[in-house]
Amino acid sequence: MKIDAVLGDITRERVDAIVNAANSSLLGGGGVDGAIHRAAGPGLLAECMDLRRTELPDGLPVGEAVPTAGYDLPADWVIHTVGPNAHRGERDPALLAACFTHALGVAVAVGARTVAFPAISAGAYGWDAADVARIAVAAVRGFGDAEAIDAVRFVLFSPGVHRAFETALAA
């Protein structure tokens, strides 16, 4: 599996699946979540609302992942995962790593071979970018079904976060 990191806009990535740093409601929000919902169009919100009515009435648990269609995005799939919120005391590295491994497991299940990730839990959820990068890179490198994924790209929103991921990838 090829792994790289770029500075950019995840909503423009031409991959099979992009990962959404969602909130548990799946109904959109700020940051990456809001950008993905805006770029995907109203079909994404409608599908997320349907998931809440049926499979996830209490919302998506932290560390879990669920797929939806990509709608108006270049990606066929959006894989939603809820990162741990450090401001709420959710500081377990294993829970953050689960976001990446569960999202990759969902990617394999839907047949996505190329996946783009944001820096889940960095930013509004209060995790340090270097910690997120180290945990994310280790989780992706250690993914058990790596041969089913051709490429993972970390698409980062700021130069500082991008540098953190470049450092983690070089280690």
CATH number, domain at 81? 3.40.220.10
In single-letter form, the type of residue at position 105 comes to G
Q: How far apart are CA 167 and CA 171, in angstroms?
A: 6
144 by Cβ neighbours in 10 Å (0-12 / 13-18 / 19+) ranks as exposed
Is 96:78 a contact under the CB 8 Å cutoff? no
Domain that holds residue 128: 2-170
Q: How far apart are CA 148 and CA 34, in angstroms?
A: 29
Q: List, in sequence order, the alpha helices (H) in 12-142.
A: 31-40, 42-53, 93-110, 129-141
Is 152:3 a contact under the CB 8 Å cutoff? yes
Closest CA to 21 of 111, 103, 114, 92: 103
Our answer to whether residue 131 is catalytic in this structure is no
Query: Distance between alpha carbon 131 and the CA centroid of its chain, in Å?
Result: 16
The catalytic position among 33, 76, 92, 128 is: 33
Over range 7-28, report the average pLDDT. 97
Over range 124-153, report the average pLDDT. 96
Q: Is the pLDDT of residue 92 over 90?
A: yes
Closest CA to 34 of 165, 124, 169, 146: 124
Residues belonging to the chain: 171
The pLDDT confidence band at residue 146, using thresholds 50, 70 and 90, is confident
The pLDDT confidence band at residue 123, using thresholds 50, 70 and 90, is confident
Q: pLDDT value at position 48?
A: 98
Is 154:114 a contact under the CB 8 Å cutoff? no
Over range 102-115, report the average pLDDT. 98
Count of structural domains, the chain:
1
Is 122:87 a contact under the CB 8 Å cutoff? no
